[in-house]
Amino acid sequence: MNIGRMDKMVVIESMQTGYDEYNYPTTTWAEFTRLYGDFQPLSSKDIVAAQAGNVDTRARLITHFVDGIDSTMRVKIYGLAADPKLFSIDGNPQPDLKSNREHLTFNLAPPLADWT
Which domain CATH number covers 71? 2.40.10.270
For the segment 78-115, what is each residue's pLDDT rounded down to a tens digit?
988 889 999 999 888 888 877 777 888 888 988 887 77
Predicted pLDDT of residue 40: 87
**Residue 115 is assigned to a structural domain of this protein:** no
Predicted pLDDT of residue 13: 95
**Residue 83 is assigned to a structural domain of this protein:** yes
- CA atoms within 13 Å, Cβ hemisphere of 14: 9
**Residue 47 is assigned to a structural domain of this protein:** yes
Predicted pLDDT of residue 97: 78
Radius of gyration of the chain (CA): 15
Residue 54 lies in domain: 3-109
**Residue 114 is assigned to a structural domain of this protein:** no
Predicted pLDDT of residue 77: 93
**Residue 19 is assigned to a structural domain of this protein:** yes
Which letter does DSSP use for residue 110 in this model? P
Predicted pLDDT of residue 90: 86
Residue 29 in 3-state DSSP?
strand
Helix (H) or strand (E) holding 51: helix 44-52
For the segment 25-77, what is each residue's pLDDT rounded down to a tens digit?
988 899 999 999 999 888 777 767 766 666 678 788 999 888 899 889 999 99
Count: domains in the chain: 1
